[in-house]
């Protein structure tokens, strides 16, 4: 079999070329802290971007190589400034737009458990966040009162910084990760009056300057890949496109020859996911990091009623009856429809690999790889459909924070041939 290795868990380049790039540790040097406040009317858009080289064979199989270990990161949001804030903004833009700044990541923060007096160079935290590691920048405070510090060392629950605090910080003051980078020039503003403006801030984070985020392990694995079970927000428009590659020879006159080299169709979908908590947003980010953008693959349910249970099945049964006379003809031997899901009324989710689809009477039976383990009754099956193997359709992930606690992200997926994990060969 042709050596194709599209799994996300092990990059084709191994450790060479990817992990040979150490994280840049930006030590204490004269730096300016970005003083602008977010205008939450427009929210904050954080963009992550990886890079994947994709080689596609005529058969439709892919070879995908991750070319970037850590994603590039950028922020975009609007400010609302007037009076003294407008003057301070313009003074900074005139003289510091081309140089590095420290931008607080306002969607990620902790609050001081107790007052932090001026002149302190250490802070005690019972559970420091992952971004408070040596070399990482942090920002404390709001607006023009902010101060940037660099973590020098950690000893148990004590974190040491490169400089002392310049003022007293009361309990509850927010401490943010500091993003080192620069503004994208030019920075445009809408002037509402001579004293009021709404600049659009586009900030590019310096590559490899952040403390790297280690993604959490997937919650569910199936046939060597993780399963993505987060359902889309159907209040937002979900788009889908079905297609199949065809080679066509056309000289512009006379007969046209068409040849089907890819023996399966492909579906691309785009859906919005709403994250009501930081944990839900981090779960989407972790999925993106585990898959390394387009390189990896995951099982994703269609979350559609693709077929209905025709008759009851016992717990020892490995069959799923479908009352459709054309079902076996369409799906028997399909290289893409190789797994299914069954969601019961009590919330139980059953995942099975498809062994075969056979005609039976006036309908069809799906033969699965293991007994159901529970009795299946038509009135107890809330939904049954295909579990398709997919990869992300883009190396870019955009998380739009509507507030500092609620976000939305759009995921694009592309279906793949469902090769068995054991059949994949690393070149």
What is the model's pLDDT at position 97? Answer: 84
Q: Can you read off the two tokens belonging to residue 6? A: 């599209």
Count of CB atoms situated within 10 Å of the CB of 105: 20
Q: Is the alpha carbon torsion for 329, 331, 333, 336 positive or negative? A: positive
Q: Cis bond leading into 186, ω under 30°?
A: yes
What is the model's pLDDT at position 248? Answer: 87
Q: What proportions of the chain, in percent to the nearest 5, are helix, strand and coil?
A: 10, 40, 50
List Cα–Cα distances, 147 to 142, 182, 309, 396, in angstroms.
Answer: 9, 17, 62, 31
364 neighbors 358 (Cβ within 8 angstroms): yes
DSSP string, 153-191: EEETTEEEESS--SS-B-TT-EEEEEEEEEEPSSPPEEE
Q: Mean pLDDT for each consecutive 10-residue tract of the chain (427 residues)?
A: 36 36 45 90 96 89 91 96 91 88 95 96 93 94 94 93 95 96 92 94 94 94 96 93 88 89 89 96 97 96 96 96 95 95 97 96 95 96 97 97 95 94 61
Closest alpha carbon to 306 in 333, 271, 343: 343
- Distance (Å, rounded) from C-alpha 323 to C-alpha 307? 9
What is the model's pLDDT at position 423? Answer: 67
What is the model's pLDDT at position 273? Answer: 97
- Distance (Å, rounded) from C-alpha 401 to C-alpha 421? 36
Give phi and psi for 401, each to the nearest 5. Answer: -90, 115
- The residues near 10 (Cβ < 8 Å, ≥ 6 apart) are 426
What is the model's pLDDT at position 26? Answer: 45
- The residues near 174 (Cβ < 8 Å, ≥ 6 apart) are 109, 110, 111, 112, 140, 141, 142
Predicted TM-score (pTM) of the model is 0.89
Strand partners, 202: 76
What is the model's pLDDT at position 288? Answer: 97
Which pLDDT tens digit goes with each residue over 416-427? 999 987 766 544
In the three-class reduction of DSSP (H, G, I as helix; E, B as strand; rest coil), residue 289 is classed as helix
Domain ranges of the chain: 71-205, 221-421
């Amino acid at each position: 079999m042709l050596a194709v290795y599209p799994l996300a868990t092990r990059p084709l380049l191994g450790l060479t070329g990817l992990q040979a790039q150490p994280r840049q540790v930006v030590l204490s040097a004269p730096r300016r802290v970005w003083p602008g406040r977010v205008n939450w009317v427009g929210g904050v858009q954080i963009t992550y971007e990886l890079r994947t080289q994709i080689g596609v064979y005529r058969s439709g199989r892919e070879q995908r190589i991750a070319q970037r270990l850590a994603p590039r990161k950028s922020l975009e949001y609007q400010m609302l400034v007037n009076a003294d804030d407008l003057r301070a903004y313009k003074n900074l833009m005139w003289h510091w737009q081309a140089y590095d700044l420290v931008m607080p990541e306002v969607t990620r923060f902790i609050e001081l458990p107790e007052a932090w007096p001026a002149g302190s160079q250490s802070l005690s935290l019972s559970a420091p966040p992952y971004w408070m590691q040596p070399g990482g920048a942090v920002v404390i405070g709001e607006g023009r009162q902010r101060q940037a510090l660099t973590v020098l060392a950690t000893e148990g629950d004590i974190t040491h910084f490169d400089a002392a605090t310049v003022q007293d910080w009361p309990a509850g003051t927010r401490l943010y990760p500091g993003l080192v980078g620069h503004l994208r020039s030019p920075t445009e503003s809408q002037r509402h009056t001579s004293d009021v403006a709404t600049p659009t801030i586009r900030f590019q984070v310096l590559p490899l300057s952040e403390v790297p985020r280690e993604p959490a392990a997937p919650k569910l694995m199936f046939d060597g890949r993780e399963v993505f079970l987060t359902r889309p927000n159907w209040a937002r428009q979900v788009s889908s496109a079905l297609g199949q590659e065809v080679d066509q020879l056309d000289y512009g006159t006379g007969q046209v020859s068409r040849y089907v080299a890819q023996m399966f169709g492909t579906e691309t979908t785009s859906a919005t996911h709403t994250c009501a908590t930081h944990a839900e947003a981090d779960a989407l980010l972790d999925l993106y990091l585990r898959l390394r953008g387009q390189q990896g693959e995951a099982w994703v349910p269609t979350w559609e009623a693709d077929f209905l249970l025709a008759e009851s099945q016992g717990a020892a049964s490995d069959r799923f009856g479908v009352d459709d006379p054309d079902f076996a003809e369409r799906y028997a031997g399909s290289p893409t429809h190789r797994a299914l899901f069954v969601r019961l009324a009590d919330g139980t989710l059953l995942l099975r690999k498809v062994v075969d689809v056979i005609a039976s009477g006036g309908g069809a039976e799906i033969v699965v790889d293991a007994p159901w383990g529970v009795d299946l009754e038509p009135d107890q099956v809330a939904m049954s459909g295909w579990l398709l193997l997919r990869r992300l359709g883009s190396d870019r992930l955009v998380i739009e924070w509507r507030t500092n606690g609620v976000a939305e992200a759009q995921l694009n997926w592309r279906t793949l041939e469902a090769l068995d994990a054991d059949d994949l060969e690393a070149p």
